[in-house]
Amino acid sequence: MKTLIRNGHVIDPGRFNGKADVLIEGGKIAAVGAKLLVKGDNSSHVTVIEAKGLWVCPGFVDLHVHLREPGFEYKETIATGARAAVAGGFTSVCCMPNTRPVNDSRSVTEFILRQAASAKQAHVFPIGAITKGSDGNELAEIGELYDAGCVALSDDGRPVMQSLIMRRAMEYALAFNLPIIDHCEDLSLAEGGSMNEGLVSTELGLAGIPSAAEEVMVARNVALAELTGARLHLAHVSTVGSVRLVREAKSRGLAVTAEACPHHFSLTEEAVRNFNTHAKMNPPLRTGADVQAVKEGLRDGTIDGIATDHAPHAVQEKQLQFDEAPFGIVGLETALPLVLNLVEEGVLSSEQAISKLTCAPAQVFALPKGTLALGADADVVLIDPDHTWVVDPSRFQSKARNTPFTGWTMKGRVMKTIVGGEVVYDSP
Ligand code: DOR
């Protein structure tokens, strides 16, 4: 079975940027080029997808999502999360281990992979816990998690507070060449905080989380990466100081990578003023200066990729007082237009923007994804960069509705998503 995506503008970052057709055969990319005729083929054997006016890109790769299964299926399941992923253009997602039970064992990793395979939507790459139960005290069975298919290790949602445990985790992870992802938050500095610490938190009477709570842990982790030689990936970088520390670490040649989330370059702490719990996430929304630093980090390559930190919660969980509501917002179905805003603003070129969603994150975890190279899995997204639409969470494929972007007019829409040569999402 062959599929021909015809007349689109192909953006395969670093490889091709221009008008071309894409031919898919046997679930793989078979050719990218001008006017690909499927020679000798009876047209009934070729599915033709017309892509005039659309961008044809590698499917997006999200290094940071919470799919909630097992244990919190009322918030999201692997199937609903994977459907939300492909609706947002993501054909590969890496899921954090803060489920119940925590993904600290082969059985949980294998369960996740089985559920993902039966959902037949996005590819799901599990991230294993650094410590048993992610409680920060005893290392998980890292070799077992690697064997079972985990692509990285993290206690995300929580930091690894004990530096010696983090050092040992890095040493073990190195033996398997697995990246260690830290949620950088010094819990003693952040304790009790529910938003960024600053003028706005003082005016609102809410306890704050200072930038330093993130930055001291970024600095510690960089020091430990230098000590051990480990691959360190910093999740959801949100402050001026964190960007500066990552830039300096990279300039010294350390194996340090970083991601930023769309909400951290699209919103500031001002979004908390009406006590909207959909503006509550961890790390919190920061100041305008922090937003600028994150954008500059994306522009100059300090921040490798864009990850959503898709964190679904049930409606009733967010209908609480601001300081009592859980941290987290959904992100898979709104990421693309927020990234394209950076193109409109002149921060990134369109090719750079697509690279931050595709080959750059794939490279961070060494995933064979995010490319339209010949022979690669045919994971492809068709985008209408000019299509405007209004965010209506009731139309999300995700089970959850907790977005701060309700009612926003967005520019840029996923029209079709293809995984392994099969169309898994078609925009209504
Ligand atoms: O906002 C967040 N939500 N930050 C995290 O680190 C965890 C996540 C969640 O699991 O809800």
pLDDT digits (tens, 9 = 90+) for 31-72: 999 988 765 555 568 999 999 999 999 999 999 999 999 999
CA distance 418 to 142: 33
Mean pLDDT value across residues 142-158:
98
- What are the pLDDT digits (tens) for 263-312? 999 999 999 999 999 999 999 999 999 999 999 999 999 999 999 999 99
- What are the pLDDT digits (tens) for 233-255? 999 999 999 999 999 999 999 99
Query: Does 120 lie in the same domain as 90?
Result: yes
Query: Does 414 lie in the same domain as 349?
Result: no
Determine, yes or no, domain membership for 112.
yes
If one counts the domains in the chain, the total is 2
Ligand 1: atom nearest CA of 329 is 1
Catalytic residue among 104, 155, 186, 309: 309
Beta bridge partners of 8: 20
Host domain of residue 315 = 59-364
Query: Does 116 lie in the same domain as 31?
Result: no
CA distance 333 to 314: 17
Ligand 1: atom nearest CA of 96 is 10
pLDDT at 38: 67
Give the DSSP letter of residue 139: B
Domain termination site, one of 332, 364, 396: 364
Domain termination site, one of 321, 342, 364: 364
Domain termination site, one of 364, 389, 413: 364
Query: Does 181 lie in the same domain as 148?
Result: yes
CA distance 399 to 421: 26
Band (382; pLDDT cuts 50, 70, 90) = very high
Query: Does 289 lie in the same domain as 340?
Result: yes
* CATH, residue 410: 2.30.40.10
Query: Does 88 lie in the same domain as 35?
Result: no
Q: Is 309 a catalytic residue?
A: yes
Concatenated DSSP letters for 249-282? HHHTT--EEEEE-HHHHH--GGGGTT--GGG--S
pLDDT at 15: 97
Query: Does 73 lie in the same domain as 44?
Result: no
Task: Note whether 109 and 148 are within 8 A (CB).
Answer: yes
Percent pLDDT > 90 in the chain is 97
pLDDT at 284: 98
Burial class (CB in 10 A: 0-12, 13-18, 19+), 292: middle
| C-alpha 302 to ligand 1 mean position (Å) | 23
| C-alpha 90 to ligand 1 mean position (Å) | 19
Given a cut of 90, whether residue 117 has pLDDT beyond it is: yes
Given a cut of 90, whether residue 313 has pLDDT beyond it is: yes
Query: Does 153 lie in the same domain as 193?
Result: yes
* CATH, residue 96: 3.20.20.140
Query: Does 337 lie in the same domain as 306?
Result: yes
Ligand 1: atom nearest CA of 156 is 6
Query: Does 240 lie in the same domain as 108?
Result: yes
Protein residue with least CA distance to atom 3, ligand 1: 328
